[in-house]
Amino acid sequence: MIETITKIIVRTQKVRLYTEAEPFHFESGPTLAPVDVAFETYGELNKDGTNCILVCHALTGNSHAAFYSSEEDRVPGWWDGIIGPAKGIDTDEYFVVCPNILAGCYGTTGPMTINPRTMKEYGTTFPATTIRDMVRVQKRLLDWLGVTKIQLVIGGSMGGMQAIEWAVMYPDMVIAAAPIATGASHTAWGIGLNEVARQAIFTDPAYKNGDYYSSGQPARGLALARMVAMISYRSPESFSLRFQRERIKNADGVDVFDLKNIFQIESYLHYQGAKLVERFDANTYVYITRAMDLHDVARNRGSLEEVLGSVKPQMLCIGITSDLLYPATEQHGLAELMPHATYAEIQSIHGHDAFLIEFGQLNRILKEFLREAASQ
């Protein structure tokens, strides 16, 4: 689909990047073909291919980062507040690319893709996937698009992991990178939370060892996994401000002591769980949370100090004051070990999700950083 809207050209596409003649080689050893990648672009690539900004999405995100249409038919993207004319990522100046990750479930090849050899979904036969695998597929996409330089690679959470790997793996292509609310490696805290979420999926009888596509996915398990994650995405202050101890009233508008008279925070978590079940795949959730757990920028490269100390691109490490999942100290630590890095902080009570909420602060931070990076 190609649609021209006002000053912005929005493109949603899918391309086959790997074939039987040239399959993709996973870090874990196996090869796979074909491999398709779904992506969106915003703005125009200049003739030299040098005005690209790569946006990397987080765990359950997709390539639909922004969209501009008539007010009657608006389909919002997850980063509409950041991407657009005169915003932090200015589509009048930059060619913006946002791909769905390898092992994703929004168009890019992953566990729910049909295996052409069996004509069934890959499911748990899909190869173990790493952040570095995701980045290598993204590199192939940008080469196909004609991108020669990336002015900025940016992403939050798992997207931030990708941004760090880009800076290490392709330093001659990347001018600058901005990892947000992430770390050099996934911590024991983060791994533990992901394992609880995965066990919620595995113990749902509907999971059937990942072979559930003909019977319906494990809705209860995936919903519970999302509920666990949502608690880590916000802060106690954020939840208290929004919900306090308010109850869901009964038909008479009063609190009663029965199982239906739940607290509002409970209702919110159940709602978020149900929403994810409608739009996401359980096997995909298992695969990409494992990819996050495996993230370690120093793995097989040397010491962390050596690896980060050799990073060439300019780096903007952005922390969030109330982030419980990736405390701001992790971004501080990144910035301290990189030779061309600065640290910026989002002041927010909203926890890890603040990079999807505090658009005003993030726009100011990005505009300043891009101005400084361009002057170097």
Q: Residue with structure tokens 């931030």?
A: 160
CA 119, chain centre distance (Å): 29
- Residue 235: partners with Cβ closer than 8 Å, 6 or more residues away: 322, 323, 324, 349, 350, 351
Phi and psi based region of residue 272 (left: phi greater than 0; alpha: psi -120 to 50; beta: remaining): alpha
Catalytic residue among 323, 348, 350, 353: 323
Q: Is 90 a catalytic residue?
A: no
Measured CA to CA, the distance from residue 133 to residue 290 in angstroms comes to 13
User: 93, 374 in Cβ contact below 8 A?
Assistant: no
Other C-beta atoms lying within 10 Å of the C-beta of residue 373 = 18
Measured CA to CA, the distance from residue 206 to residue 210 in angstroms comes to 9
Q: Is 25 a catalytic residue?
A: no
Amino acid letter, 204: D
Q: Residue with structure tokens 């770390």?
A: 183
Residues 307/311/316/319 CA torsion (nearest 10 deg):
0
Per DSSP, the three-state class of 297 is coil
Classify strands 52-56 and 35-42 as parallel, antiparallel or unpaired: unpaired
Catalytic residue among 57, 63, 157, 293: 157
Taking CA atoms, 268 is separated from 255, 271, 357, in Å, by 18, 5, 17
The answer, yes or no, to whether the previous bond of 34 is cis (omega within 30 of 0) is yes
Q: Is 352 a catalytic residue?
A: yes
Other C-beta atoms lying within 10 Å of the C-beta of residue 200 = 23
Residue closest to 163 by CA, chosen among 8, 31, 331, 320: 331
- Residue 335: partners with Cβ closer than 8 Å, 6 or more residues away: 315, 317, 341, 342, 343
Give the residue numbers annotated as catalytic, written as ranges: 157, 323, 352
